[in-house]
Structure 1
């Protein structure tokens, strides 16, 4: 399977720019008990599908429904951005479904049958929530630390962080936040963490509960 190429860049820091560092006390506060991310894979990613790859039919050209800033609005906005809401699409890098999951990320969530995944909208919705739950657990300290801050001209919010983690993996989001945007990630199509932070900021994602290594209950989706 062709893998997505991730691009990282280190932006120069000039005099007068904001530097970020943790004091001893702050560093200790970040180590919230029970939220150690050691031995976890933090760099899994999904891919943004190019519009030119989409099958041109009426079902994919529909307008995004107005769902407000709820969790449902959040996930539908992400799904529309990733694939125009197409549950059965596969892009050139092998990323699948409405939310463009790679097989590696799906396996982290307990999903090993790609055909079953593609043919079950309910399973894809469960995978999105489970992935968001895992990302929120990994990034909970960064959410608490950076929510409301402004980085590269974009106000940081929990929903923006979760969307960026869906794109780039929580490890890349940690690097971006803790470097105040100096360590930047773009996917193979040029979509950046900053772009996702901006586009998906301000949604209410309190519905997503943080959980370490959650798994989708596959049996619940089988007849």
Structure 2
């Protein structure tokens, strides 16, 4: 009998404890305990679309992609990075200017007679790059036709490699390199060769730029 009473008391106490716990856990939490005060909630991502729009002045349907791959934009941005680190306001020790490191003589050929103004104008620099590629493509049109796909000095010749080398050394030096099958390998003041540029910038799609004998940036 005493034992049964003890069991009933134990059960009753257990029920009371469970009811008490249930009521405590169903209380509405105070939202005041949760605050964003003091936290930095301002996050920004650098917007490069303005630069890319300059880079594609005549490519109206260009769609931004963080991966440029072997596209024309990939080609020119890779070349710019090698030339100046992509800095529009760079001037090297030989006086070459801008993102793509143009010389004053080349600028005159594409209609730019004020190097100082050119250096201050990123949009003009992008136009200058496209004009220069178009002009070089016209000058080298026969060499592109005759040598693309051939192997010279261990590398397969591509149109983008030819155009990159022409940007470095001028189309005349590229003609000499190709027609000598790599024996006449021009090097610039820093020791960078036609062969190196043809290898490094091989395989990009440069069909976007059309050959133009009279291409001008202005």
TM-score, length basis structure 1: 0.67
Cα deviation 1:5-62 (Å, max 9, x = unaligned): xxxxxxxxxxxxxxxxxxxxxxxxxxxxxxxxxxxxxxxxxxxxxxxxxxxxxxxxxx
Residue 216 of structure 1, CA deviation: 1.5
Q: How does 1:96-111 map to 2 (within 5 A)?
A: 96-111=97-112
Q: How far off is 1:115 after superposition?
A: 1.7
Q: Which runs of 4+ in 1 moved over 3 A?
A: none
Q: Find the aligned partners of 2:67 and 2:172 in 1 and give their Cα distance.
A: 32
Tell me the residue number matched to 1:72. 73
> Offset at 1:113?
1.1
**Counterpart mapping for 1:22-41 below 5 A:** none
Q: In structure 1, what is the Cα distance between the partners aligned to 2:79 and 2:169?
A: 13
Partner of 2:205: 204
Q: Partners in 1 of 2:111 and 2:212 — Cα distance? A: 14
Q: If each structure's helix is expressed as a fraction of its own residues, which one has the higher value?
A: 2
SS in 2 for 1:184: coil
- 1:110-138 Cα shifts (integer Å, max 9, x gaps): 00111211111110000000000000000
Shift of 1:215: 1.4
Output aligned runs, 1:164-203, within 5 Å: 164-203=165-204
Q: Secondary structure at the match of 2:186?
A: strand
Distance in 2, matches of 1:154 and 1:205, equals 18
Secondary structure at the aligned position of 1:186 is classed as coil
Q: TM-score, normalised by structure 2?
A: 0.69
Which position in structure 2 is the counterpart of 1:121? 122
Corresponding residue for residue 141 of structure 2:
140
For residues 47-95 of structure 1, the C-alpha deviation after alignment (integer angstroms, 9 at most, x for no partner) is xxxxxxxxxxxxxxxxxx6311111000000000000000001011110
Distance 1:113 1:190 in 2: 28
SS in 2 for 1:100: coil
Q: How far apart are 1:96 and its partner, in Å? A: 0.3
Structure showing greater relative contact order (alpha-carbon pairs closer than 8 Å, 6 or more residues apart): 1
The DSSP-based 3-state class of the residue aligned with 1:137 is: helix
Deviation at 1:104, TM superposition (A): 0.6
Distance 2:93 2:204 in 1: 30
How many pairs does the alignment contain? 153
Q: What is the root-mean-square deviation of aligned Cα atoms in Å?
A: 0.8
1:213 Cα deviation from its structure 2 partner: 2.5
Unaligned runs of 5+ in 2: 1-65
